Amino acid sequence: MAVVASAVVAVGTVTGVVSTTSGERERTTAAPEITKTPDMPPLPGMPTPSPTTASPSASAAASASATATKKPAATKTPPPAAKKPPARQQSAPVSANLYLHPQSQVLDWVRANRGDPRHALIQARIAAQPAAVWFAEYKPSTITNEVRKVTAGAAAAGRVPVVVPYAIPERDCGGASQGGAPDFGSYDSWIRSFAAGLGKGDVIVILEPDAIAQTDCLNDAQRATRFAALSRAGKALRAANPNARVYFDAGHSGWHAPAKMAGYLRQAGAATNSDGIFTNVSNFHRTADEVAYARQVLSALGGPSSLGAVIDTSRNGNGAPAAGQWCDPAGRALGRPPTTRTGESRIDAYLWVKLPGESDGCKGAAGSFTPDYAVDLANG
């Protein structure tokens, strides 16, 4: 049985890194149930045959950027007469220097608790690592500037930011991270405004955690509508910044079978409007399992050989917990540090999308930074 990870997000003002968490069948937001990695090459992906509860990315980190809010059908075919645009050239691999956004819950805690005995460990093991910045609040009038603050700050520092747009309608299927844009017309406008803030430098975009893997709660028509919106979103983000690398949701190895996941991704335009896929956001599956799973999904997806994958390694140091345990499960540990130099073919980066220490809702309020939990993860 697979567990879903869910992205439990704390919505609020801007705070730098927002992290999402949990895994499908490890729940994205709701309480998913984590299961042992299946025999499937990748992580225990939730094989199509075995029913699982999807759990979005566990806790979608607290806040995103200074302004970034926390929590977060096919593309029209050009008229026959229209000249086909040249194939988008794949940008060179992003720099290994990922951006550490200066605003986040863990950094706030570190600055305010210098005399705390847990300070040194949390500072060295977690606060010093670059993590994703989530944009989980639907604020159409400010989203461009919120994104621009992050990307401009990264460009000035010569680093590569990781940003997470998280506002798809019916987000988290009504679970703990529910929210998002009121309808798809509004979402299209919001994502275009998001794209306008990407700038022109290297940037990694983790597009809507759980939006593809967690669609079993939707009927066929609703699923098609969502996939069409994601296809348009990928196209808009890449058109706005040719150096942006956009990754689509592929759940994790303990959720859907690779062939099923690839089928969903194909319907969402991932083969043409993305740079690849992301897995394990807010979840706990081991890196080796995720690497195998990601390659299987990419192989089944088809598309250009340049498509790659990024894996969330923020909390997967000890692998997935026992089945059914998804909310701040005990015995977990930090995974590999964030890097774009993985040494693995088709694996573009190991990232900390979910910020370690931000609770899924059991050891602390959902989405809040919880120092004792952070220490548990740091000590493994």
Which residues are annotated as catalytic? 172, 210, 360
Residue 250, φ and ψ in degrees, nearest 5: -125, 20
Nearest to 276 by CA among 304, 237, 238, 248: 248
* Distant-in-sequence, close-in-space partners of 281: CB < 8 Å, separation ≥ 6: 5, 7, 20, 21, 23, 57, 206, 209, 210, 249, 252, 312, 353, 354
Rounded Cα distance between 233 and 103, Å, is 26
Rounded Cα distance between 114 and 175, Å, is 36
Q: Which two tokens stand for residue 245?
A: 């690398």
The DSSP 8-state label assigned to residue 16 in this structure reads S
Nearest to 261 by CA among 272, 252, 271: 252
